Structure 1
Amino acid sequence: MKLAEALILRSDYQKRVEQLKNRLFQNVRVQEGDQPNEEPKVLVEELTELLVKLEKLIQDINRTNLHTKIDQSLYLADALTTRDIIGQERKIYSELIEQATERHDRYSRSEIKYVTIIQVKDTQKHIDELSQKYRLLDVKIQELNWKTDLIEK
């Protein structure tokens, strides 16, 4: 199985876990004399089995990320961390621009006037650079995900 396939499967497992949890919550209590729509014991067994599969899959994904090089000096796990930090930084600067460019209408000269004290144009340029770095790194990661075999224990 390729790493990308394992990532898709992990996402499916996580969605199924959430669905099973919700179904379990809906059937754990009923009015006295009524029967649940689904047997909670069966749902718990299915959930437990799925969580065991999810745990093994995540461990295999993590192992693969730790042992796969994206280039001579960078492992896939490190590239994922770098991509996440670039994304977080980009989000912070985008929110900063939103705050800086928010319009405050004044209805009289006596109201307080707000001024922006950052260079919006420069900040936007920095966001664009971060976006490009993110995209380029993400493309490399996605490409490698489809070329790399999952390392199973």
Structure 2
Amino acid sequence: MGDVKLAEALALRADATRRVEQLRARVAASARYQEGEAPAEDAVSLLAEAGEALEELEILIRRINRTNAVTVIEEGVTLTDALARRDVLRLRHSVVTSAADAAAGRDQRGAVRQLRSELKMLSALPVGELRSQADELARRIREVDMRIQRANWEVDLLD
């Protein structure tokens, strides 16, 4: 692979991962067959092909990880740091949104829960404040993601 941008390598990784999964399924489907019948495919050669695809995938992942670790996208922040930040911001957004939904009496589908009790349900959390936090987190996620995507298209994959 000559001058490959990081974004291209990420697409290749996704393709390679799908290919490995397809080969895994084909190996499993061909691993046993009925006596007197021929197997649908040669499981031994499929397994060997999967092994080669996995070796290529490992090399690609190593190159991507090396590139992410040394690529600085802003003062003192590597691409690896930004990916970790984005992942945690997404989790934080999920926690805050779930808390706001629960406090507002909504279930996972967004429907308001009705209780057949005469007791009034009170919110233990400030729903409006949590919604504002969720909006701010979503904005920060978009900003970090934009910097990551820009780097993906600008940075060359390392060997």
Deviations 1:67-88 (A, max 9, x none): 1001121111001101100001
Partner of residue 130 from structure 2, selected from 119, 123, 130: 123
Task: Find the partner of 2:144 among 119, 125, 137.
Answer: 137
Written as runs of structure 1 = structure 2, the 5 A alignment for 1:4-153 is 4-102=7-105, 103-107=112-116, 109=118, 112-152=119-159
TM-score, normalising length: structure 2: 0.90
- How far does the alpha carbon of each residue in 1:87-110 deviate from its partner, in whole angstroms, 9 at most, with x for none? 01001111112212224434463x
Letter in 1 for 2:158: I
Shift of 1:33: 1.5
Name segments (4+ residues, structure 1) moved above 6 Å. none
CA distance in 2, matches of 1:78, 1:108: 49
Point out where structure 2 has 5 or more consecutive residues left out of the alignment: 106-111
Paired residue secondary structure (1:149): coil
Question: CA, structure 1 residues 71+34, in 2 after alignment: closer, same or farther (shift >3 Å)?
Answer: same
Alpha-carbon distance in structure 2 between the residues aligned to 1:108 and 1:27: 57
Aligned partner of 2:108 in structure 1 is none
Aligned letter for 2:126? Q
CA distance in 2, matches of 1:7, 1:148: 12
CA contact (8 A) 1:24 1:40 kept: yes
Q: State the shift of 1:114 in Å.
A: 2.1
- Give the Cα–Cα distance (whole angstroms) in 2 for the partners of residues 108 and 114 of structure 1: 9
Unaligned runs of 5+ in 1: none
Aligned residues: 150
* Structure-1-length-normalised TM-score: 0.93
RMSD between aligned residues: 1.2
- What percentage of residue pairs aligned between the two structures are identical? 38
C-alpha contact 1:3 1:61 (8 A) present in aligned 2: yes
